[in-house]
């Protein structure tokens, strides 16, 4: 059964680091793997609010990932439509999933913007989880 998304140490006791041991050439495969993970995360989390409303997956600072994610989300997740927004969100708290890439300015402000909102924050930035993010990607052999 999916777990409701909670912050502040009640149900979600900290960050989660996911490792992937792929030999990545160029970065296209890396982006595809991350897009697949982001799509699959929507299957295991329940967000409060209207269960029929679309889930918004925001991608800031990783346009290539946003493009690939838009291809993946053409199918629904648990009966809910998915939509992708690429670029720095005006209101990060309106996203259900927020991926913060290396090219995203002011990471701390984005995290602060969704501190008390039910937003699953994900990144492959070093120390992302220590900064308050929820899921941090890293690749084997790369500092986490």
Euclidean distance between CA atoms 58 and 101, whole angstroms = 11
In degrees, rounded to 5, the angle at the alpha carbon of residue 43 between the alpha carbons of residues 51 and 141 is: 145
- Residue-range domains of the chain with CATH: 3-139 (3.40.50)
pTM reported for the whole predicted model: 0.79
* pLDDT tens sequence across 77-112: 888 999 999 998 889 999 999 999 988 888 999 999
**Residue 73: which pLDDT band, with cuts at 50, 70 and 90?**
confident
Euclidean distance between CA atoms 96 and 76, whole angstroms = 14
Euclidean distance between CA atoms 119 and 71, whole angstroms = 22
Nearest CA-CA partner of 114 in 87, 101, 130, 132? 132
Q: Which residues pair with 16 in a beta bridge?
A: 135
* pLDDT tens sequence across 26-40: 478 888 889 999 999
């Amino acid at each position: 059964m999916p777990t409701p998304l909670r912050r502040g140490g009640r149900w979600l006791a900290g960050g989660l680091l996911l490792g992937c041991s792929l030999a990545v050439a160029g970065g296209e495969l890396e982006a595809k793997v991350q897009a697949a993970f982001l799509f699959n995360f929507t299957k295991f989390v329940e967000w409060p609010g209207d269960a029929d409303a679309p889930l918004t997956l925001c991608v800031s600072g990783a346009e290539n990932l946003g493009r690939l994610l838009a291809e993946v989300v053409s199918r629904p997740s648990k009966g809910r439509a998915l939509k992708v927004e690429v670029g720095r969100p005006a209101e990060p708290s309106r996203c259900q999933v927020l991926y913060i890439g290396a090219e995203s300015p002011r990471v701390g402000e984005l995290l602060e913007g969704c501190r008390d909102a039910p937003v699953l924050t994900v990144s492959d930035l070093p120390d992302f989880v220590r900064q308050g993010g929820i899921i941090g990607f890293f690749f084997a052999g790369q500092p986490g």
